[in-house]
Structure 1
Amino acid sequence: MSPLTKSLMLISADGTTIYADASGDPSRPAIVFIHGVSLSSVVWNDIFNDTKWTDLFYLVRYDTRGHGRSGMPTSPSAWESKRLAEDFDAVVEGFSLSKPFVLGWSLGATHIVDILSHHPGNEEYLSGAIHLTGVPFMGPGISKAGTQFALGCLPSLNQTDDVEKFQDASRRFVKGCSKYASFELQSLCLGNFVTQPRAITNFVCTREQDATEFFKAGENGFLPLLAIACTDDLIVDGRSAARALGPWKNLKIVDIEGADHMPWLSHSEALRNLIADWVKGVLSS
């Protein structure tokens, strides 16, 4: 039986609907999972349906605006940084979370910049952050962290003139995420790509951020950050992404040998133990 315990359709500050659900015991340390570009929270199914994970954490995930089951606003104002932070706030409030950890995967890690910009200097809002093969920030952060393979897919994913180019790039990107992904998961991911309006894909990839408060959190040392790189990742160069973080005082960088862009599929135990040990250390410090 799935350990899914709660699902909600939340309303963000600007009225955009945000789908979110949770697995596990709310008394355990909470981790909010944020997926990557043009996908949705279905990428986390293998984690959220695994009692080895829910025995350790209260797992919360949501479809970011413009993705999956959430609302898909296409006005430029809907893609200001504060709007994405407000979506996260709606999830925190909807599930009554107190100082959760936030895990951003791939381009989803950039949302941590939005959250910190909206809650500057607030040491009581988050317990810590996890970059799971994550792009640290928008703009130059994408070029520093993205591989040539991933960056090569983006033009065809953003254009609207050639359906075959879009289909080919979607398939290549999804297959590039993991050779361990099941046909079912690949199909769900491709469905996410197809149902997302191209205008939103463009907003997601080109939106602007101010990373000032993000870097302040690192320089001041109040936000612990775990940066996880995977040696066989075709999408994100985790080591380059970690170097882009600069002088982050409370930073731990770990490589998972042999893992690709979806390490929870092939290296679930190693990833779970790594996160569990780090979370335990943060909470006990």
Structure 2
Amino acid sequence: MSKVSKLVTSSDGCEIFAEGVGNLEGPTIVLVHGLGSSTVVFNNLFKDDQLLSKVYLVRYDMRSHGRSGRPLDRDDYSSPKFAADFMAVVEGFNRQKPYLLGWSLGGTVATDVCTHCPAGYVSGIIYVSALPYIGAIMMDLGKECLKNLHPRLLTQDVADALKARIDFVDSTINDCNASNWDDRLLWVGAFSHLNANDVLNAMSRQQDPEPLFAAGRQGLRLLHLYGDADQQLDNAVTEAQVSKHFVNRKVVVIKGGGHALFYEFQGQVVEEVLAFVTK
């Protein structure tokens, strides 16, 4: 069960860093991280024996993040290219019909996939404290904490930009203490690799949610996981707007759960995810 790391090439030549580990005979789950993070946020899941015994996990750095390429042109951050990155990763590991697990901004990739990939390309969607698409929903979904951080993440003031990245990470982990201090520093380090232009490119592409909604009405499975103590997002907004289109859905609200739900409530999240993908 050794980890495989590789660079795959997307349709426009952008290199995407990806890793895979787990049971090659099991279903595949592709993990997509949030804004400013990278594959490292999923280190705990990549070491979860219960999960790895049943499924094959793949994680990758979105373009402009981590060890993936970071083109400078805004046109290089279009919805079709995010979908192409996802397909390049799936095909680079020779997997078929994966589940897409999107955390936070990573949830938007499900809309790219439903819009630009062949019908039935994924077996299901797993939202974890997720933004489902980039658009008007962001005004209602983001809490004051996130709205206040947004301009600071784009500032040219170097000192405040770094402090904003630290504040952003701290708002994802509700119980930050000595036991997870190393992880906090790792997450802050990942975000520190992004400049203001990278942040803007990552969250400004045009998306149409209708293909996502249509896939839900046609039976695409959805598991929606979130906590009731999320400092960044009012996840009930996503539930109200998106879940109503998915006829085959399950919503799980974890009491006390914050934004990094898969991290602080790993056992419960793994249990729900395994039940979903092995059903």
TM-score category (smaller protein): over 0.9
The residue matched to 1:206 in structure 2 has which SS? coil
Structure 1 unaligned blocks of 5 or more: none
The amino acid that maps onto 2:126 is I
Which of 140-149 and 95-104 deviates more?
140-149
> What is the identity, as a one-letter code, of the residue corresponding to 2:140?
K
- Native 8 Å contact 2:37 2:66 kept in 1: yes
Q: CA deviation at 1:4?
A: 4.3
- TM-score where L is the length of structure 2: 0.94
Say if 1:259 and 1:4 are closer, same or farther in 2 by CA, change over 3 A: farther
Residue number in structure 1 paired with 2:158: 163
Partner of residue 248, structure 2? 250
Gap runs ≥5 in structure 2: none
What amino acid is the match of 2:164? Answer: A
TM-score (norm: length of structure 1): 0.92
Tell me, yes or no, if structure 1 residue 239 matches structure 2 residue 254.
Answer: no
Cα distance, 1:188 vs structure 2? 1.7
Instruction: Please give the alpha-carbon distance, in whole angstroms, between the structure 2 residues aligned to 1:238 and 1:4.
Output: 36
CA contact (8 A) 2:129 2:261 kept: no
3-state SS of 1:10 partner: strand
- Secondary structure at 2:182 match in 1: helix
Runs in 1 of length 4+ with deviation above 4 angstroms?
Answer: none
How far does residue 179 in structure 1 lie from its aligned partner after superposition? Answer: 3.4
Alignment-derived partner of residue 185 in structure 2: 187
Alignment check: 8 A CA contact 2:128 2:262 kept: no
Give the % identical residues: 32
AA aligned to 1:224 is R
1:17 deviation in Å? 0.6
RMSD (Å) for aligned C-alpha atoms: 1.4
The answer to whether structure 1 residue 175 and structure 2 residue 179 are counterparts is no
SS of 2:233 mapped into structure 1:
coil
Alpha-carbon distance in 2 for matches of 1:264, 1:93:
26
Contact 1:136 1:244 in 2 (8 A): no
- Distance of 1:184 and 1:83 partners within structure 2: 33
Match of 2:147 among 146, 151, 171: 151
Q: Which whole-Å CA distance do the structure 2 matches of 1:277 and 1:145 have between them?
A: 28
- Provide the secondary structure at the position in 1 that maps to 2:278: helix
- Contact kept in structure 2, 1:43 and 1:189, CA below 8 Å: yes
Superposed CA offset, 1:255-284 (max 9, x none): 011111112222211111111112222xxx
